[in-house]
Each structure stands twice: as C-alpha cells, then as structure tokens.
Amino acid sequence: MSQDLEEIWSRVQAQLALAVDEPTYKIWLEPLRALELREHSVLVAVPAHARRWIQERYGRAIQASVELVLGAGWRLELTGTSEQGAREEAGKGVGGDVDRARLPFRTGPPGNPKLTFEQFVIGDCNRLAHAAALTVAEMPAQAYNPLFICGPPGVGKTHLLSSIANLLLLHAPDMSVRATTGEAFTNEFLAALSAGEADRFKARFRDIDVLLLDDVQFLQRKTRTEEEFFHTFNALHDEGRQIVLTSDRPPNDLQALEDRLRERFAAGLIADIHPPDPATRLAILRKRAHHDDVELDDERALEVIAARVRANVRALEGALIRVVAFSSLSGRPVTCELAEEVLDGLYPRAPAAGTRERTVGEIQAATCEVFHISSQELLSTSRAARVMWPRQIAMFLSREITGESLLAIGREFGGRDHTTVLHACRRASARISTDESSRVALHRLCRALGCEPPITS
C-alpha cells in the first residue's frame, strides 16, 4: 500500500471512529483495509463472510467518512475477496498513487444519518447542550459564540457536533463548515509546517463560516499548536464566525492549556453533558433498536441493558450490539433472559433493593483501613509501592462499583485526570487477573465495604 493511501485510510478511519460507537468500530470497522485508489473510488477489503452485514449496516457511515476525507463524488467499493485477488481486480482499473495536493478538499460536515438532532435522545442530562447546539445550527454566530460542550467520553458531544453540521448542510449549503478534531488539527498543522504550507493551512481554517472542533483538550501541552489555534480562534471570532468546541472537561479544568485560550473558551456558553439517567438510557436503546430494525421478542431486554449499563451512551449501544450479535450467532430470540446472560460477565447486576451503592469516599476510607495508609498518602503523588498499589485498586473499585465517570473519580483522587485513572484501572485489573495475592486483597477490601467483588477477566 502506498504511503498516500495509508495516510488517506488512516484519516477515514479516524472519522469512522467518531461516527459510530466504540464497540462497533473495534469489532467491524477497525479491521477494514484500503487496497487501492481507483478513479474517484476506494477499494476496501472486508472479510467475505461479513461483507453483506458491513455493507447494509455501516456502508453509509463508511461512505460519508470517505467523502469527508476525499471530497464529494468519491465512492466506496467493498470486496470480500482476498487481498491479492482484490489487488488484481483493482489493477484492471485506474490505480497507482494519488497526489494529495490535487485531491478535492471538503469543508462540509460528515453527513452520517445517525448523527442528527432527530436521532439525539434528550434528557435532563443533556437538555441544555442540545438546546444550545440546535440554536447555534439555526442561527450561526448570533447566539452562543463560542459554544463549549463538555462531558465525559461517550455521552453525545460528537453527536451534537455532527448534528450541527448536518443541519447547516441541509438549510445553509452555501456556508463553509469545517468539522475536525483536536488531534487532526495538530497533525495537519505539523504537516503543513514540515511542508512549508503554513499559509495554506491558515486559509483552510480561517476562511470558513463555522468551525466544529471535537476534543479540544488534545491541544494541551502542544505549544506551537496552541499558539496557532489561539490566532485561528481570534480570527474567526473577530469576523463573527461560529465556533463550537467539545472537551472531556470544563475550560477551568484544562490546566495544561494556556490561560488566554481557557479564558476565551469560558467567555461563551459552557454546556455540560452528564451520563444518562435510567429513563434516558431506555429511550436511547429504543431509538437505536428502531433505527437499526432490531427485532425484539421481549422489550424487557432493553430494560435489562438500561439497568446494567450506566457509564455512557457508547457503552450502552455497545451492549445492545453485543446482545443482538449473540442472538444472531446463536439463533436465540432477543429476550430479557438472553440479555442477562450476555451481560453478566461485563456488567454485573445492580445492587438489590434495599442495598446502598458505595461512594468513592467510602472506598477510599476502606482502602486506607485495609492497607494501613493515611488518606493524605492515598491522595498524594507518592509512587512508593506501599501507596501506589492501594491507590490503583481503590480507583479500579471506584470505577467498577460506583458508576462514577473516570473524570469524577480523578477529581476525588487529588484532581487527577481521567487518563491517569484509566491507566490505574487497567494496571489493577491486569494484576488482579494474574496474581492470587492481589485477588485476595480485592476480596478483603470488598468485605470491608460489604459488597461483592467485581468480575475480572
């Protein structure tokens, strides 16, 4: 595969990862490989047995991502043949390398039919963010500018960005809209610097009407990129262009970002999104099942999923995919019994009626007692083994049994960020899975809390 094709397909996959939930991307779309660029078409290899499924379920999302990267008019071609056979077939058409400078550049939105305002489920957890995003889409730069949407991963921030883009495409097709991510902005800027095309980069991001930037927290600790985005932000804002940003935390919590950027982010409307409540989770599942034409033999199956999966929307939809896939592969109907069986290993049952869910504070107190360390040591930056292991297991247990987000847990542990908490949880899970003494420690801590230990692989 040529270097150009590798880069193009990497960008397509980055868009796909934003367009669908994480389990769907990991299971079905991440393994896809681009084989050849034909004349205005991309040949993509898929497993022969899954070709029809991928075409029917995700063909539109892949096509939209291809158009976003390469431009309108580019088509997707899926082949279930072997890679060698696909290359031979591609050789009959127009192949070879493509000069990236000649590829059409699309400033329009993704156009994923799933990510629209109509498909967004409104609840108390996201009502303000939804209303603000809809207002911005209907009246760009006239209401909230900038609009800053924040919340933990998987709660619908990217969905709202795409909804804005899709509505603008429908009602204001003459407006130039650029939808990108903090990571993509950084990579494009660095590539432009290396190629001596800084002016061209500035034109791409400043000669537009609307900028939609996902995961702005990625710009932290990248001095040159922050500087460029600061000037881009000012140029757009001073000319009355709409800016919408998303982040996994509020502006004031982006401490590694320059003060002048945080001040500008906080100058507009900050709309936060929280993990969905039970009623919203059930509504999301019903809408997703209807949208994907999922045949439910027992609607209580959705109630089981909504009760078990509380973290975020991505996990919720991933659980539905898991249940439907198990039903399809086993030939069993989608019932509440099947849902319970499929989810038992990943999402333990909620506490029985009359039992109280433990808090992060209670887990911290029990950890200090069981491991004979002080609260100050637990929350400190010490990396001593006698402190670090109790801290990791406390974070792991907080994630498993409280339902709190990684961001919320990090705040309880001395203001650590969500990536630190995730790393600690992974380290603890791996250690508990392979080391008997660590499993004993987990069980001892759970006994002190009066709860059942979580299941680990």
pLDDT, one tens digit per residue, over 12-59 is 888 888 877 665 677 678 888 888 888 888 898 887 656 777 787 788
The predicted structure's pLDDT at residue 379: 92
Tokens 């207002």 appear where?
A: 135
Supply the pLDDT for residue 357.
67
pLDDT of residue 126: 92
Its pTM stands at: 0.56
- Phi, psi dihedral angles at 107 (to 5 degrees): -100, 0
Domains of the chain: 3-99 (3.30.300.180), 127-272 (3.40.50.300), 278-343 (1.10.8.60), 360-449 (1.10.1750.10)
Q: Which amino acid is at 33?
A: R
Q: Determine the pLDDT at residue 349.
A: 61
- HSE value, Cβ hemisphere, 13 Å, CA-based, for 43: 24
Tell me the mean pLDDT per 10 residues along the chain, length 457: 73 83 71 85 79 79 87 84 41 31 33 74 91 92 92 89 89 86 91 91 92 92 92 94 94 89 93 88 89 84 87 85 88 88 72 60 92 92 92 91 82 88 88 87 88 68
Residue type, 212: L
Q: Token match 């982010």: residue?
A: 265
Q: What is the pLDDT of residue 234?
A: 95
Contact of 244 with 213, CB cutoff 8 Å:
yes
Q: What is the pLDDT of residue 433?
A: 83
Q: Is the dihedral of CA 405, 409, 410, 412 positive or negative?
A: positive
**Cβ–Cβ under 8 Å, residues 344 and 431:** no
pLDDT digits (tens, 9 = 90+) for 286-335: 988 888 888 888 888 998 898 888 778 888 888 898 898 888 888 899 98
What is the pLDDT at residue 14? 83
Which residues touch 328 (CB under 8 Å, ≥6 apart)?
A: none
Torsion from C-alpha of 143, 152, 119, 302, nearest 10 degrees: -150
Whole-number pLDDT of residue 88: 41
At 42 the three-state DSSP class reads: strand
Segments in 292-384 forming alpha helices (H): 300-308, 313-330, 336-343, 360-371, 375-379
